[in-house]
Amino acid sequence: MNKFIFTKIRSHDSHESYERNIIKLQQLEQDRDTFTGVHIPYFTFDTLEKDLTVTIQSEFIKGHFVGHRFSDILYKNLVERDSLWSFTDYGILNFIKQQDTEKIYCVDLESYREMEISKRKDEWNRQRKNRIISDTGWGSQRIDCRYCRKTIQEMVDEYTFFGDNPF
């Protein structure tokens, strides 16, 4: 078995931003085992206060981006999470379905923050609603479905993404 480590070095412009990032990562360390349907890669972080730098070393998750097919899992486990703390950047690049285990991982550790559920719902709708075209990717609402020739917006109006798969 091979493991790869992803290293992210982030320099902050202010001490306040630096401290906020540390608090978020410390909270994520504490909360890591409270997630069920979405997993957190193993990670560690180091800080260098004189440079206002945070270095995150995270397990690299090999797999594919999570698109429409697992939206219900992401929504239930992240948006509706019964905690003020959750991941709040729902962009497609932040979620990977691991190749060997089929587990879904959130790979953007810095998007973990305090946010009320109602605001997370607004963020979800802003970032994900009406933007899905395939199981693994994004598309414009104006693009026709290759199967039924309806536009994405027409399908969104007709189907729910948390029930039957319209594709």
DSSP labels, 7-37: EEEEE-SSHHHHHHHHHHHHHHHHHGGG-SS
Q: How far apart are CA 145 and CA 102, in angstroms?
A: 27
- Two structure tokens written together for 162: 């948390």
- Two structure tokens written together for 12: 């902050």
Structure confidence at residue 131 (pLDDT) = 56
Structure confidence at residue 100 (pLDDT) = 87
Average pLDDT of adjacent 10-residue blocks, the chain of 167 residues: 88 96 97 94 95 96 85 93 95 90 94 96 81 51 61 59 48
pTM here?
A: 0.76
Structure confidence at residue 59 (pLDDT) = 95
Structure confidence at residue 164 (pLDDT) = 47
